[in-house]
Amino acid sequence: MTTDLVGILGGTDLLSTAPASELEVLAAGSRVRTFRRGQVVFTAGDPGETVMVVVSGRVKVAVRSADGGELTLTVLGPGTMFGELGVADGGPRSADCEALEECRLLLIPRELILDLCLRVPTVAQALLRSVAAMLRRLTEAASDLVFLDLPRRVAKVLLGQPRGEDGVIRPMLSQEELAHQAGGSRQSINAAMRGFERRGWIQVSGRTVTVTQAAALNRFSGI
């Protein structure tokens, strides 16, 4: 199992430059937890004591309003790491995290990452790049919410999903999930999707969405 964890850790952007011996130390001090679909991984305000790596499944990171509104900041799949902000400043979680499906997460204590940064400067540099990339993503998301109308935000979200060569978005994306990512209601999302379908840019069959004209969506969204 330790060998598997070393491979998982070495495959992350943050730890790709760390020597195998250091990754073995991290693996030995970490633990794997399984979360069922819909289970809360952490909530805003919780201590940021661990960095997490998605071993299998998917999780979403979101912020919620007092009246129940939700905005999904990102959806993370296997091989991705999150929670680095707590390593950088020692502060609490700034958002909620929930399992979108049954998933396994590798939990790495913050102290181990900090110690590694002292011993391996390239890991410290990677941590800085990760935090900077997060800030850029949030800045772009805030800009989109202010300056783009909902249909254009929906187009950007669709283009940001993983697609097969046939254009089918996989895994399937429900209108509720799309609404949480684009910052709109299900009704407004449905209207935008119907508009795209009339133009021939997408095809919708149940929960299956196929992007048929990515270039047109790209021009429309202004990416």
CATH, domain range 2-145: 2.60.120.10
Average pLDDT of span 12-35: 95
On whether the 148-221 domain is CATH 3.40.30.10, my answer is no
Q: What is the pLDDT of residue 46?
A: 96
Of 162, 195, 193, 197, which is closest to residue 179 (Cα–Cα)?
193
Tens-place pLDDT, residues 81-116: 999 998 888 899 999 999 999 999 999 999 999 999
| Helix residue spans in 75-120 (DSSP H) | 84-89, 110-119
Whether the CB-CB separation of 77 and 58 falls below 8 Å is answered with yes
CA 12, CA 9: separation in Å to the nearest integer? 6
**What is the four-CA torsion angle of 61, 66, 69, 73, rounded to 10 degrees?**
-20
Based on C-alpha coordinates, what's the Rg of the chain?
A: 19
Which residue from 51, 63, 70 is spatially nearest to 12, judged by alpha carbons? 51
Domain ranges of the chain: 2-145, 148-221
Sole residue written with tokens 């990416």: 223
> Which whole number is the average pLDDT over 41-63?
95
